[in-house]
Structure 1
Amino acid sequence: MLRIHFTAEDFTRVRFAPRPSPVPELHAALMMLGAPHEELLFGRWRGRLLRALPRAAEPLADLVPGGVAPYFLDVLGETREEGLALIREAAGPEFVRSELERVYAGRSAVPPPWIRGLYDGEEGAWRVLERAQRAAYEAVLAPVWPLVQDLHRAEFARHALTVAERGLGAALTALAPGLCDGVWSWPGAASREVRLAGRGLVLLPTFHWRGGPLVQDLPGRPVVLAYPAGGGLPLAPSGAEEGLAGVLGRTRAELLRVLTEPRTTTELARCLGVSNATASAHAAALRGAGLLTTTRTGRSVHHAPTPLGELLKR
């Protein structure tokens, strides 16, 4: 059981993150990719993302040799760029070394050269990490980020309304009911004692991770509790392709599926085995529904799925 100890001062320093934070949400998604549970719901999503992850993202696996990530990755930041910059700014050399020693302790795996370079503070190793984070973000989060923002706004509004009508205690116990004598308990979470000691608490909903709450507890900083919010992202279960075809029509569903990269009308027609005029008409219908965008470049037009269109393909 997770037990968070508040002082009187900490109750005045609880806040809900007003906007989603890309780096923690990305880490939650990557953890969910490696999680073995909820295969029925997440199996197809995992398969698609694992196929979509570029080689540039592979070094991230070296940071979690046993499924445990180093704490210097625990940062917030309201943009991807800000979050990536904070990873390096917030992590001093000694902290990076101690955390790499911790995650590799007792393991037979030999750290790859870039991890040894990160341990030594080499500039090239930090660039490897930044490239891997950026590549993973583009493949995993970028297609659904507008939806994450919408879900976060709804979650923030719900909590704000609860605080306004019933007080902070009611908002906290709506997430986990065990608040008593300055200790907030989360049943079912990993056993851990967290003492805020006047640092305060930031509550951050996550829409990918479906396990217990994730805690960022770093010296001198507010503790951040990332908790699974609502039903998470509406990921499509197996068999959704048939359902999507039933709603859009099989040709339009196939058109969305083949848009793995921007394509011209001629390329779409060739992939679908239809005329250019027919491909253009289907693209226009999907564009009107907000599922793809069309951009003119010179004499050609290129079609690409919107974030909503990408989500429907998953």
Structure 2
Amino acid sequence: MLRIYFTSEDLARVRVAPGPDFLWEISNSVQTLQRRDGTRVFGQWRQWARPRLSDSGRLLSSLLPPHGYSPDFLTPTTGDRGSLQAAVDTLMSAPRRRLRADLAQLAASRHLPNWASPLAVGDTASLRRLGRAVHTYHLEALAPFWQHIHAHIDADRTLRLHSLRDGGTEGLLSGLGPQFRWRPPVLEVAYPIDHQLRLRGRGLTLQPSFFCWPTPITLADAELPPVLVYPIHHAPDWARPARGGGRAPDGTGPLGPLLGHTRAALLREARDGCTTVQAARLLEVTHPAVSQHIKVLRAAGLVTTVRNGGRSFHVATAQGRALLDTADAAEGIGLR
């Protein structure tokens, strides 16, 4: 059990991360790739990814075992992490004392390869090798799904912000899911070991993660800036290729079925997130009609759906928002 202790100042400094964190997704996916559980969700991706990985996967897996401790320096909580290159640069600038302490702790529980010794003292060539491995692994295992990963994390973030708006910080914390229990001033979290995290006014960053599995994660060193990484909901067939694979017979592709006022209005409602019930009420259509329209929008990559507490929550993807922005701009031009 992980217990996170809040002060009143901490409750005012809880934030939801603005999007996926490259290094957390890489680290979590390397660990998930080595596990055998979670087949319903990750089995198809594992079958796809394993034969495609070069030495990068083996290099990273030697530092990221599927169970137990993993080094904090691989998932920094400070520095620029807005792009993969920026994240790698931040990783490669890890303080030597952090490298030395983390790798010593990892070596206490497993045998490390020979190149880990120069890495522990900040050897430039070893750090560059690690950086190349991170880049290559992302390209081989995650890049083909990154748009999907980003959309699902965006959807989860929108859901959390709705919880924050409706119930404040305590509503956000109490609505994180069955692995969490808010007992003011302590957030109890399902965790493989007993661990305590006292925030002491530093606040907490909530980081949704596509590949976090099966329980939430935090950094081992409680003195680092506090972050809680938690699993998001995704459909079990997320890695399955789209049926057919080719263009629609009429040549319009997946956007063809989107013509119509109801779907356009539904996409607009999904810009800020809406449930099936809310959409049906606002658009004055039946729940099954909303579900059918959402299915078409989702197949076109314009909407994604997350489920929370038995409710389906629909959020426009970046592509969906771009389409709406284009339509809004065109309408504005036409009014001049």
TM-score (norm 1): 0.71
Structure 1: distance between partners of 2:213 and 2:66: 19
SS in 2 for 1:175: coil
The one of 98, 115, 132 equivalent to 2:101 is: 98
The answer to whether structure 1 residue 200 and structure 2 residue 203 are counterparts is yes
- Structure 2 counterparts to residues 152-163 of structure 1, below 5 A: 152-163=153-164
Pick the aligned partner of 1:213 from 212, 216, 226: 216
Q: Tell whether the 8 Å contact from 1:208 to 1:233 is kept in structure 2 after alignment.
A: no
Aligned pair in 2 of structure 1 residues 83, 6: CA closer, same or farther (>3 Å)?
same
Task: Provide the residue aligned with 1:116 in structure 2.
Answer: 117
- Cα deviation for residue 118 of structure 1 reads 0.5
Take 1:54 and 1:39, find their aligned partners in 2: how far apart are those partners?
23
- Per-residue Cα deviation, 1:101-123 (whole angstroms, up to 9, x for no partner): 1111154x3x3332121023211
* 2:197 and 2:222 in contact (8 A); partners too: no
Aligned positions of 1:122-137 closer than 5 A: 122-137=123-138
* Aligned Cα root-mean-square deviation (Å): 2.8
Q: Which runs of 5+ in 1 are unaligned?
A: 254-281, 292-307, 309-314
- Structure 2 Cα separation of the partners of residues 286 and 81 of structure 1: 41
Does the C-alpha gap of structure 1 residues 49 and 183 become closer, same or farther in structure 2, counting only changes over 3 Å?
same
Deviations 1:147-204 (A, max 9, x none): 1221122112111122112211111111145222311112465321111111110001
Query: In 2, are the aligned partners of 1:189 and 1:213 still within 8 Å (CA)?
Result: no
Comparing 38-47 and 120-129, the one that deviates more: 38-47
One-letter identity of the residue aligned with 1:58: R
Matched residue, 2:53: 53
What's 1:143 paired with?
A: 144
> Against the structure 1 CA distance between its residues 14 and 287, is the aligned structure 2 distance closer, same or farther, given a 3 Å change threshold?
farther
Name the residue aligned to 2:10. Answer: 10
Distance 2:155 2:90 in 1: 27
What do the CA deviations read for 1:68-125 (whole angstroms, capped 9, x no partner)?
3211112252211121112233x31122111111111154x3x333212102321110
> 5+ residue gaps in structure 2?
256-300, 302-336
- Could you say what secondary structure the match of 2:175 adopts? helix
Q: C-alpha separation between the residues in 2 aligned to 1:285 and 1:93?
A: 59
Shift of 1:56: 3.6
Q: 3-state SS of the aligned residue for 2:28? A: helix
Q: Deviations over 1:24-80 (max 9, x none)?
A: 111111111012212344333212211111224431122236743211112252211
Q: Distance in 2 between matches of 1:216 and 1:78?
A: 20
Contact 2:212 2:229 in 1 (8 A): no
CA distance in 1, matches of 2:9, 2:220: 17
Once residues 191 and 131 of structure 2 are traced to their aligned partners in structure 1, the CA distance between those partners, rounded to angstroms, is 34
For residues 1-314 of structure 1, what are the structure 2 equivalents within 5 Å? 1-64=1-64, 67=67, 68-76=69-77, 77-89=81-93, 91-105=94-108, 107=110, 109=111, 111-176=112-177, 178-187=181-190, 190-216=193-219, 218=221, 221-231=224-234, 234-236=237-239, 247-248=243-244, 253=245, 289=253
Tell me, in whole angstroms, the C-alpha distance in 2 between the residues paired with 1:156 and 1:65: 28
**Equivalent-residue separation in structure 1 for 2:106 and 2:221 (angstroms):** 16
Under a length normalisation based on structure 2, what TM-score does the superposition of the two structures give?
Answer: 0.67
Q: Distance in 2 between matches of 1:174 and 1:148?
A: 22
CA contact (8 A) 1:64 1:103 kept: no
Contact persistence 2:99–2:121 (CA under 8 A): no
Is the contact made by 2:4 and 2:197 (CA closer than 8 Å) also made in structure 1? yes
Give the match's secondary structure for 2:62.
Answer: helix
Instruction: State how far apart, in whole Å, the 2-side matches of 1:18 and 1:84 are.
Output: 18
Instruction: Determine the C-alpha separation between the residues in 2 that align with 1:179 and 1:123.
Output: 44
**Matching residue of 2:279:** none
Contact 2:26–2:138, Cα closer than 8 Å, also in 1? yes
Contact 2:248 2:254 in 1 (8 A): no
Identity of aligned residues (%): 27
Aligned residues: 251
CA spacing shift, 1:285–1:23, aligned 2, 3 Å: farther
Q: Find the aligned partners of 1:284 and 1:170 in 2 and give their Cα distance.
A: 44
The change in CA–CA distance for 1:284 and 1:170 in structure 2 (over 3 A counts) is: closer
Contact 1:32 1:209 in 2 (8 A): yes
Do the aligned partners of residues 10 and 41 (structure 1) sit closer, same or farther apart at CA in structure 2, a change above 3 Å counting?
closer
8 Å CA contact 2:35–2:66 kept in 1: the answer is no
Q: Residue 76 of structure 2 aligns to a residue in which SS?
A: coil
